[in-house]
């Protein structure tokens, strides 16, 4: 299935002629212009710029050795030392026999003597050098995937680029096709079955896209890439492929990411990155099999990348700040300030305030969260200490912990160090651990929580009700408070006005002998209803949004006087 012949039909290869003498340039152009697109450079530097700019499309360079600014031999060395350029064959133009050897040693493919020989000889040497270079390129990449017979990815990208070169006006789509949870197929039915399915998918793709307008490869185990002319409908294609794989013992679920009508200015790999981003978006969505890339998706992806890239600088420059939101005990006649929650805010110099919902999940994925949290915990401890000294009063402040931090064997040590350096105690800092952290590896998490509690730290289970922990498990958990997930409040008061779920959670907390904290309380109606139901502590906009430390002092002063 060598496509090289049909790739070249409607385009001309590009050749650069680098010679400072106009007469020579014109002569060569006349000889070559029927067959090739000829670019011209009149000195070494100009030649180098043109080569870099056209490195993806340039098929050959004709290089005069004597040129101003940068001489031919030096330029030749530069080209051959640059991994991006060294694959482009160079034919040296020279009248000096001694230089011929030198240039061949520096990597020239051939030479053409001056004065120039017959045009036929020149054309023959050029076309042979190009052929050799292209063959070499193709051989050097492992051409095919043994299992499916499709191209391997290196070869695929190169052919994709060549395809563009000779069909510059075709409207192309980049596709990334993936099998959901393929490892399960291998685990349940064995490798042989897995291989059979991959071969079926490959042959299906070859049938569907058999026209001469596409290139296909198997990228990794269960990921296929297709570069093809634009199509409007991929759903029916997916149906066909699923059908072909259908008589397998398991229902194989395929998904495809489509980057339609690619921007050809983008590197070919980047085009397939986009298709993959789209494909990954529906990874866990079993009802959809086609996902199309759009600019919004790219914006999100770029935004996420920017935040991760800028994190170290932001941390060093103090762009993160802790806000405090009060929690009130509502069991008496009047609500009484009982504690606070520390919530991080990022004050970005150009993007303004960024809320943690945008960056915490990213930092959790990239492992940056530990650095950020340590900074937040320290800064919170310093604020508590400052309040104690200046106002002579403080309330306990809870900080948030991410799941990964619960596996850190030094966690207790870290908190002991933070509290002792700030001159406060373990009674001053509470720890909020999200319920979902307990769901997997709960034994390890429970051990860590026990260790923290044995050192005097108070543990609040955050987002309770969102993590599906069983009643059975709850009763064994060493916790000091249950923090109701905000969704309970939303659902209970939205339309149905059904507070039964909240009652159940309060009963569980009573049974465990711990207080219930309701967060996200926004209205008087919610506050009164929760009070009636027996909820102990309330946090939410009804009392206050999270505020900077200075502003929070008003709550401390209120209880002081
Ligand atoms: P969370 O721990 O469940 O925090 C409660 C979130 O609800 C906060 O959002 C808070 O500002 C918001 N909130 C409080 N009262 C109300 C209300 O009445 N109505 C509404 N609509 N929202 C209310 P925020 O500050 O954006 O934090 C989002 C999440 O980010 C937090 O959820 C927490 O999981 C995480 N987070 C925040 N700061 C940190 C931190 O320093 N470290 C770690 N690891 N995670 C943090
Ligand atoms: Ca929290
Ligand atoms: Ca929460």
What confidence tens digit (pLDDT) does each residue in 446-478 have?
899 999 999 999 999 999 887 666 666 777 778
Highest mean pLDDT among 3-7, 149-153, 299-303, 394-398: 394-398
Q: Look at residue 373 in the predicted model and tell me its pLDDT.
A: 98
pLDDT at res. 211:
56
Nearest CA to ligand 1 atom 29: 357
Do 260 and 228 meet the contact criterion of CB atoms below 8 Å apart?
no
Q: Is the CB of 520 under 6 A from ligand 1?
A: yes
Backbone angles phi, psi at 253, to 5 degrees: -115, 115
CA of 465 to the centre of ligand 2 (A): 14
Q: Which pLDDT belongs to residue 470?
A: 64
Residue having the nearest C-alpha atom to atom 34 of ligand 1: 400
Instruction: Supply the DSSP symbol for 180.
Output: T
pLDDT band at 18 (very low <50, low <70, confident <90, very high): very high
Rounded to the nearest whole angstrom, what is the distance from the C-alpha of residue 356 to the centroid of ligand 3? Answer: 12
Percentage of the chain exceeding pLDDT 70: 93
What is the CA(355)–ligand 2 centre distance, in A? Answer: 14
Q: Is the pLDDT of residue 88 over 70?
A: yes
Give whole-number Cα distances, 367 to 14, 50, 91, 294, 405, in Å.
47, 43, 51, 28, 10
Q: State residue 138's pLDDT score.
A: 58
- Mean pLDDT across 438-450: 83
Q: What is the best residue among 373, 466, 519 to mutate for testing ligand 1's pocket, by most ligand atoms within 8 Å of CB?
A: 519
The residue-averaged pLDDT of 126-148 equals 74
pLDDT computed for residue 5 by the predictor: 31
pLDDT at 111: 86
* pLDDT value of position 250: 55
The whole-angstrom separation of Cα 145 and Cα 152 is 5
pLDDT at 32: 92
Q: Which atom of ligand 1 is nearest to the CA of 463?
A: 3
Taking only Cα atoms into account, the Rg of the chain, rounded to an integer number of angstroms, comes to 34
Nearest Cα to Cα of residue 91 among 67, 128, 44, 126 = 126
Residue 376 CB burial class (10 angstroms; 0-12, 13-18, ≥19): buried
As to burial, measured by CB atoms within 10 angstroms (0-12 exposed, 13-18 middle, 19+ buried), residue 379 is buried
User: What percent of the chain clears pLDDT 90, i.e. is strictly above it?
Assistant: 55
pLDDT, mean of residues 533-560: 95
CB 436 within 8 A of CB 403: yes
The mean pLDDT of the chain is: 88
Position 402 pLDDT exceeds 90: yes
Q: What confidence score (pLDDT) does residue 4 get?
A: 35
Beta-bridge partners for 16: 39, 61
Residue range 472-492: mean pLDDT, rounded: 85
pLDDT of residue 547: 98
Q: Which residues surround ligand 2, an ion (CB under 5 A)?
A: 400, 432, 462
Q: Which ligand is nearest to the CA of 432?
A: 2
- Give the residue from 491, 471, 493, 492 showing the smallest Cα distance to 482: 471
pLDDT of 272 reads: 96
**Does residue 360's CB lie within 6 angstroms of at least one atom of ligand 1?**
yes
pLDDT for 139 beyond 60: no
CA 298 / ligand 2 centre spacing (Å):
30
Assess whether pLDDT exceeds 60 at residue 48: yes
Give the chain's domains with CATH numbers.
9-142 (3.40.50.2300), 153-293 (3.30.70.270), 303-560 (3.20.20.450)
3-state secondary structure of 25: helix
Question: Cβ(460) to ligand 1 under 6 A?
Answer: no
Decide the pairing of beta strands 537-539 and 516-519: parallel
Q: What is the pLDDT of residue 9?
A: 32
Q: Which atom of ligand 1 is nearest to the CA of 539?
A: 15
pLDDT category of residue 2 using cuts at 50, 70 and 90 = very low
Judge residue 389's burial from the number of C-beta atoms within 10 Å of its C-beta, 0-12 exposed, 13-18 middle, 19 or more buried. Answer: exposed
SS (H, E, C) 274-291: HHHHHHHHCCCCCCCCEE
The residue to mutate among 315, 327, 343, having the most atoms of ligand 1 within 8 angstroms of its beta carbon, is 343
190 versus 449: the higher-pLDDT residue is 449
pLDDT at 64: 93
Averaged pLDDT, 121-140: 78
Q: What is the mean pLDDT of residues 219-234?
A: 92
Distance, CA of 272 to CA of 220 (rounded, Å): 13
List the single range of 236-240, 263-267, 274-278 with lowest mean pLDDT.
236-240
Residue nearest atom 33 in ligand 1 by C-alpha distance? 400
Q: How far is the CA of 343 from the centre of ligand 1 (A)?
A: 6
Contact by Cβ (8 Å): 337, 395: yes
Least confident of 9-13, 114-118, 164-168: 9-13
Residue 34 reports pLDDT greater than 70: yes
d(CA 240, CA 269): 27
C-beta 435 within 6 A of ligand 1:
no
Q: Are strands 320-329 and 336-348 parallel, antiparallel or unpaired?
A: antiparallel
pLDDT of residue 8: 40
Q: Does 331 score more than 50 pLDDT? A: yes
**Predicted confidence (pLDDT) per residue in 336-358, tens digit:** 999 999 999 999 999 899 999 99
CA–centroid distance, residue 121 to ligand 1 (Å): 76
Please compute the mean of the pLDDT values over residues 405-432 and round it to a whole number. Answer: 96
Q: Which residue has the higher pLDDT, 255 or 207?
A: 255
Pocket flag, ligand 1, residue 376 (CB < 6 Å): yes
C-alpha 503/C-alpha 516 separation (Å) is: 11
The string of pLDDT tens digits covering residues 194-219 is: 898 899 899 888 888 865 678 899 99
């Amino acid at each position: 299935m060598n496509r090289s012949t049909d790739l070249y039909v409607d385009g001309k290869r590009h050749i650069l002629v680098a010679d400072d003498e106009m007469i020579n340039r014109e002569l060569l152009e006349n000889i070559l212009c029927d067959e090739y697109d000829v670019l011209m450079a009149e000195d070494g530097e100009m030649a180098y710029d043109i080569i870099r700019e056209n490195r993806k499309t340039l098929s050959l360079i004709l290089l005069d050795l004597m040129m101003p600014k940068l001489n031919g031999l030096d330029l030749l060395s530069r080209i051959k030392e640059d991994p991006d350029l060294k694959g482009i064959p160079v034919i040296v133009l020279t009248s000096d026999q001694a230089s011929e050897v030198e240039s061949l040693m520096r990597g020239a493919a051939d030479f053409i003597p001056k004065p120039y020989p017959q045009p036929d000889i020149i054309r023959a040497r050029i076309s042979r050098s190009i052929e050799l270079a292209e063959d070499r390129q193709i051989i050097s990449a492992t051409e095919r995937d043994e299992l499916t017979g499709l191209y391997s990815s290196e070869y695929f990208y190169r052919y994709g680029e060549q395809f563009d070169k000779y069909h510059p006006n075709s409207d192309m789509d980049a596709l990334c096709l993936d099998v959901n949870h393929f490892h399960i197929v291998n685990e349940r039915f064995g490798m042989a079955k897995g291989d059979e399915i991959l071969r079926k998918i490959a042959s299906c793709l070859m049938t569907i896209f058999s026209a001469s307008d596409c290139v296909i490869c198997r990228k990794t185990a269960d990921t296929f890439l297709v570069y093809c002319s634009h199509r409007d409908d991929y759903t029916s294609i997916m149906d066909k492929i699923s059908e072909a794989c259908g008589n397998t013992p398991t229902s194989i679920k395929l998904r495809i990411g489509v980057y339609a009508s690619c921007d050809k200015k983008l590197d070919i790999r980047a085009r397939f990155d986009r298709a993959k981003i789209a494909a990954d978006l529906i990874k866990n969505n079993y009802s959809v099999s086609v996902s199309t890339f759009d600019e919004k998706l790219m914006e999100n992806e770029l935004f996420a990348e920017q935040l991760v890239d800028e994190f170290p600088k932001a941390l060093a420059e103090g762009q993160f700040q802790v806000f405090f939101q009060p929690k009130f005990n509502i069991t008496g006649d009047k609500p009484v300030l009982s504690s606070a929650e520390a919530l991080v805010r990022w004050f970005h110099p150009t993007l303004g305030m960024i809320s943690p919902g945008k960056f915490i999940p990213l930092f959790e994925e990239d492992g940056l969260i530990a650095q950020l949290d340590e900074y937040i915990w320290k800064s919170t401890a310093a604020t508590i200490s400052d309040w104690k000294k200046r106002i002579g009063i403080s309330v306990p402040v809870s900080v948030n912990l991410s799941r990964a931090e619960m596996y850190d064997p030094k966690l207790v040590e870290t908190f002991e160090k933070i509290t002792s350096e700030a001159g406060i105690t373990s009674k001053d800092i509470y720890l909020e651990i999200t319920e979902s952290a307990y769901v997997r590896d709960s034994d390890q998490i429970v051990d860590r929580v026990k260790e923290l509690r044995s050192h005097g730290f108070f543990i609040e289970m955050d987002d309770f009700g969102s993590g599906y922990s069983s009643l059975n498990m709850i009763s064994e958990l060493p916790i000091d408070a249950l923090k109701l997930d905000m969704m309970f409040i939303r659902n209970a008061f939205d339309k149905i006005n059904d507070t039964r779920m909240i009652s159940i959670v309060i009963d569980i907390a009573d049974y465990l002998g711990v207080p219930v904290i309701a967060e996200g309380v926004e209205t008087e109606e919610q506050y009164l209803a929760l009070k009636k139901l027996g909820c102990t502590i309330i946090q939410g906009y009804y009392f206050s949004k999270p505020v900077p430390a200075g502003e929070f002092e008003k709550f401390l002063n209120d209880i002081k006087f």
